[in-house]
Amino acid sequence: MKSTKRIVVSRYVVSDPEICHGQLTFVGTRILVESVLSYLADGRTIDWVLAEWPRLSRAAVQEALQLATGALVKQYHKAA
């Protein structure tokens, strides 16, 4: 998702080439969405994530999970 301009993906997720080389981050932070999702996939809880990154909100983390789920379902349905 490399771009030369900021892309607002959703309310809490953005891709900005000036922040973390355009990787998906949570709005107003340098926290990578991929990192948070990886911790959750490894068994950490949302409460753990929020304790590690107090600048994140539960709504932001839940939205990232919903976006990831939607992307997976969309990709799976394309392949089927």
pLDDT tens, residue by residue, 47-72: 999 999 999 999 999 999 999 999 99
Domain count within the chain? 1
Residue 44 domain boundaries: 7-79
Q: How far apart are the first and last CA of the chain?
A: 24
Angstrom distance (rounded) from CA 63 to CA 12: 7
- Residue 49 within a domain: yes
Distance CA 21, CA 70 (A): 24
Residue 44: CATH number of its domain: 1.10.10.10
Which pLDDT score is estimated for 65? 98
Quickly count: other Cβ atoms within 10 Å of residue 5's Cβ: 9
What pTM, to 2 d.p., does this model score? Answer: 0.88
Tracing tokens 């973390």 back to the chain, one arrives at 20
Map tokens 């991929």 to a residue.
Answer: 34
**Residue 1 maps to a domain:** no
